[in-house]
Amino acid sequence: MIQPIPLQFERQFAAPLKPEEVFATEALMNAYLTNGTRFAGQQCTCLEHESIIYVLSNDRSKWVGNISDAAKLILEAQQVYVGSVQPTNPNVLVWYKTVSAPTTLSDVDILRSIRAANPQSTDLATLFDDSKDPHTDWWSNNNGALFGDNPALLQYGLTLPTVLDPNTCYALVFYNFGIIELNITGLKSLVYLDLPSNKIAKLDITGLSNLTNLNCQFNLLTAESIAIILSEIVSMNLSTLFIDLRGDTNAGFSTWSVQAKADAQTIMSRGCSLQCKV
């Protein structure tokens, strides 16, 4: 009598059935692109980039969704296909295309990205240490980030919302931290930005419509960088912002473009204060 083939199967080891399903590193994943058995649409994951699924392109030359630039923390929306059985015919599987929402970074994640963009700053690495509580311990000796649940925030007399969000960063202070580049566009509720005596040549404050203080004394801001900052401030239509661009290392007013000088006049005419090197 022929015995039926058992359908039950139990794993005997904790590992992928095929080594090309899970790569330990991105380097190994990219090295696989020379494998002759690879096929278009093949999927894999990489332990270095948790929760990301990669798909081999139609020409088999690259992994679609590869984020080899590890500093890029904001992932663009991806197209996702979801399978569903057709109600009138259960033997037919229909694929519906949906679009997932872009990943929204928390204020803590944005501060981590600032740390990653400035590896030369040992002070920043020490202060923004992941072993510490960002809400209380990323603020020390009047430097760092002040979140809504940090009592020190109320000592500065800032113009703050009536209700403070404990997960929101409202003030950022870096004095002589050796910071070169700063992109804080995601800190939408930031009201106080104090950055004296750094080495900042590029500063992006796009969309910080709640800002009331911007101190960039003694940095390395060029006339072009200052023009971009002033243009953004004009677009935000602020009326209570104090701006300090003084210091011999920043570009003086005489070197600014015609448009930058006009923007400065517009900003002051709205009630803001602007100080700079002549």
Partnered with residue 86 across adjacent β-strands are 89
The pLDDT tens digits of the residues spanning 148-170 come to 999 999 988 899 999 999 999 99
Which pLDDT band, with edges at 50, 70 and 90, does 59 fall under?
confident
Residue 64: count other Cβ atoms within 10 Å of its Cβ: 13
Over 80: is that where the pLDDT of 13 sits?
no
pLDDT value at residue 10: 57
Task: State the average pLDDT over residues 191-213.
Answer: 96
Please give the span between the terminal C-alpha atoms of the chain, in angstroms, as a whole number. Answer: 100
Which pLDDT band, with edges at 50, 70 and 90, does 195 fall under?
very high
| Residues 233, 238: Cα–Cα separation, whole Å | 7
The pLDDT tens digits of the residues spanning 228-240 come to 999 999 999 999 9
Q: Which residue has the higher pLDDT, 216 or 53?
A: 216
The pLDDT tens digits of the residues spanning 67-113 come to 333 333 333 434 444 444 444 554 444 444 444 444 578 999 999 99
H/E run at residue 83 = strand 79-86
pLDDT value at residue 69: 38
Give the pTM.
Answer: 0.65
Kindly report the CATH number that applies to the domain delimited by 107-276.
3.80.10
pLDDT value at residue 86: 46
Q: What are the structural domain ranges in the chain?
A: 22-77, 107-276
The pLDDT tens digits of the residues spanning 254-273 come to 999 999 999 999 999 999 99
Average pLDDT value over all residues in the chain: 83
Q: Among the listed ranges 18-32, 155-169, 208-222, 248-262, which one has the minimum average pLDDT value?
A: 18-32
DSSP 185-217: TT-TT--EEE-TTS--SEEE-TT-TT--EEE-T
| Residues 136, 145: Cα–Cα separation, whole Å | 9
Share of the chain above pLDDT 90, in %: 60
Over 50: is that where the pLDDT of 174 sits?
yes
Q: Which residue has the higher pLDDT, 269 or 41?
A: 269
> For residues 83, 84, 86 and 91, what is the CA-based torsion angle, rounded to 10 degrees?
70
Contact between residue 247 and residue 217 where contact means Cβ atoms under 8 Å apart: yes
Q: Which residue has the higher pLDDT, 45 or 12?
A: 45
